[in-house]
Amino acid sequence: MWCSRTALGRLQRITGFHRAMSTLPKVYVTRKVPPDGLDILRKSGQVQFEMWDSDDPVPRVELLKKVKGCEGILCVLTEKIDTQLLNAAGPNLKAVSTMSVGFDHLSLDELKKRGIRVGYTPDVLTDCVAELTVALLLATSRRLIEATHEAKTGGWGTWRTLWLCGHELANSTVGILGLGRIGVAIAERLKPFKVKKFIYTDVAPRPELANMIEAEYVSLDELAKQSDFLAICCALTPETHGICNWNLFSKMKKNAIFINTSRGGVVNQEDLYEALSTGLIAGAGLDVTTPEPLPTHHPLYTLKNCGKHAHFGLGGLDLLRCRGGRENTKTCYCQYIHRYVAVSM
């Protein structure tokens, strides 16, 4: 059902001309978004919109039908905004806005070619992803998941000298692949654990960010060789797709802990499995995988040294986000939808 509040007087002030409700630009919202955000869209009087009112993704066939003739699409990261979808939407489409920090599900070249404006939500998750990365890093290096399992299944026998010994952050070198806001936020949180050195790699040095955490720029090879803990924080792009592969793992230290909170696609999972099962690296903490969720019979689930958070998948971030700062997140979403309305006109 298409909904709108015409607020025609306001609309006339903004646009300078009268537009009947039926001619208001159509926006398709591909997922249930927070009510406050939706209210902004509703009250703007600038658009009529329809929303897929569910927490589950809209089926592709339905999506292709619904976007037909729309001027705006407000989507989330499960919707591939590609040539097929843009063709289905047709020439009216002026703006696509995604409620996500990552935008690897958008075909940017195609959008650019068609002159369609793009919005996304940088910053809204910086703190929660940094917290989640630290949580995964500590859980993996301190073997919390393994220890809980042992305690619950009777494996906790007498005290043994080296049983379940973990890996210490104190005096360690922490590597960051892809230094952006999230990488900086992770380093800021890890610093009090007495980390000796932060190193990073990216397409080019980023001195303004690196200075904030006194991080040294190194090559990818050096990052692999020197890191005791390696946090993957890069965006998924054609260049980073599968960048964490055998070549990288084989250069890492045997005691290294690998943490991925970016996108599953940056990791070659077969290579990661080999690296973990043969003891090439000590452990991995994964928030993201390919696919999501990872099938329950996946080999990674059989490994003790793989602290997978992936059964939460991306929902895991939502969970933490709600715990960590619900109000703040709501505000950010609303600002974002506000921006969307501005962009769509």
Residues designated as active site: 311
Nearest-approach distance from CB 337 to ligand DGY, in angstroms: 15
Out of 95, 139, 280, 317, point to the residue binding ligand DGY (CB under 6 A). 317
CA dist 112 and 68 (Å) reads 19
- Residues 30 to 59 in contact with ligand DGY, rule: CB under 6 A: none
CB 57 within 8 A of CB 80: no
Tokens of 47: 């658009």
Q: Report helix, strand and coil shares of the chain as percent, to nearest 5.
A: 40, 15, 45
* Alpha-carbon separation of residue 186 from 77, 129, 163, 239 (angstroms): 23, 8, 29, 23
The full length of the chain comes to 345
Burial of 277 (0-12, 13-18, 19+ CB in 10 A): middle
Stretch that binds ligand DGY, among 33-41, 95-103, 165-173, 226-234 (CB under 6 A): 95-103
- Shortest spacing between CB 155 and ligand DGY, in angstroms: 34
Cα separation, 304 vs 144, whole angstroms: 11
Q: 133 vs 141, which CB is nearer to ligand DGY?
A: 133
Member of 25, 102, 178, 285 binding ligand DGY (CB under 6 A): 102
By CB under 6 A, residue 77 contacts ligand DGY: yes
* Residue 241: count of CB within 10 angstroms of its CB: 13
Closest CB to ligand DGY among residues 149, 311:
311
Contacts of 111 (CB under 8 A, 6+ apart): 81, 86, 96, 118
Tokens of 208: 């303004």
Which lies closer to ligand DGY via its Cβ, residue 63 or residue 125? 125
User: What angle is formed at CA 8 by the lines to CA 7 and CA 14, rounded to 5 degrees?
Assistant: 100
CB of 9 to ligand DGY, least distance (A): 36
| Chosen residue from 314, 332, 334, 341 binding ligand DGY by CB under 6 A | 314
Q: Residue 47 or residue 128: which is nearer to ligand DGY going by CB?
A: 128
Tokens of 41: 């869209």
Question: Binding marks (x or -) toward ligand DGY, 259..278, rule CB under 6 A?
Answer: --------------------
Nearest CB to ligand DGY, comparing residues 24 and 288: 288
C-beta closer to ligand DGY: residue 125 or 244: 125
Angstrom CA distances, 219 to 201, 204, 215, 237, stand at 6, 10, 13, 18
Residue 131 CB, shortest distance to ligand DGY, in Å, is 13
Token pair belonging to 337: 């939808």
Structure tokens at 66: 């619904």
Distance CA 225, CA 251 (A): 5
Candidates 41-49, 100-108, 232-240, 336-344; binding stretch for ligand DGY (CB under 6 A): 100-108
Q: What's the N-to-C CA distance of the chain in angstroms?
A: 22
Is position 256 an interface residue for ligand DGY (rule: CB under 6 A)?
no
- Tell whether residue 186 is a contact of ligand DGY (CB under 6 A): no
Q: Which stretch binds ligand DGY (CB under 6 A): 62-70, 78-86, 99-107, 229-237?
A: 99-107
Of 11, 106, 125, 280, the residue at the interface with ligand DGY (CB under 6 A) is: 125
Q: Which stretch binds ligand DGY (CB under 6 A): 27-35, 88-96, 97-105, 272-280?
A: 97-105
Among the residue ranges 8-16, 96-104, 196-204, 326-334, the one whose residues contact ligand DGY (CB under 6 A) = 96-104
Q: Which is nearer to ligand DGY, 90 or 291 (CB)?
A: 291
Give the pair of three-digit tokens for residue 116. 């369609």
Give me the residues that bind ligand DGY (CB under 6 A), please.
Answer: 77, 100-102, 125, 314, 317
